[in-house]
Amino acid sequence: SQKIEQNSEALNIQEGKTATLTCNYTNYSPAYLQWYRQDPGRGPVFLLLIRENEKEKRKERLKVTFDTTLKQSLFHITASQPADSATYLCALDIDTNAGKSTFGDGTTLTVKP
C-alpha cells in the first residue's frame, strides 16, 4: 500500500522567509497529489493539486513541485507570514475513479514575527 512521509513534525521559521515542506511516498506515483491547510479544530482546506505530468504549480505565494523520480513533492510558502501558521497535509490519489486519497500525518508550521 502507498505510504506517505511528511518531513518533521514541526517546522519553525522567521516571518518573511520561505517555508519548504516535504512529502515523500513509497510506491507508485499517483496521478494527482494534493496539499491542504488545516487549522486546529477545523477541517482541512484544499490548496493545490498537481498532476504527475506537471513539474510545478503556483498559486499566489504557494508553489508545489512534483518529482516522480524522487517520489517527492515539495510545498513552498514564500514571504511567509504568521497567518501561515497551520498544519499542512499532503494527500495522494490511490483510486482516481473513486476519488480516494491517502493522507500524510502533516507538518505543523509556525511562522514567528
Partner 1 sequence: SQTIHQWPATLVQPVGSPLSLECTVEGTSNPNLYWYRQAAGRGLQLLFYSVGIGQISSEVPQNLSASRPQDRQFILSSKKLLLSDSGFYLCAWRGTGGLNYGYTFGSGTRLTVV
Interaction site with partner 1 (CB under 8 A):
4, 9, 31-32, 34, 36, 41-49, 89, 91, 93, 96-106
CB 113, min distance to partner 1, A: 25
Q: Which is nearer to partner 1, 14 or 58 (CB)?
A: 58
Shortest Å distance, C-beta 1 to partner 1: 11
Smallest distance from partner 1 to CB 92, Å? 11
- Quickly tell me which residue has 504549480 as its cell: 57
Give the three-class secondary structure for 25: strand
What count of other Cβ atoms lies within 10 Å of the Cβ of residue 77?
22
Q: Which is nearer to partner 1, 97 or 113 (CB)?
A: 97
Residue 34 C-beta-side C-alpha neighbours within 13 Å:
16
Q: Is 30 helix (H, G, I), strand (E, B) or coil?
A: coil
Which position has the grid cell 488545516? 38
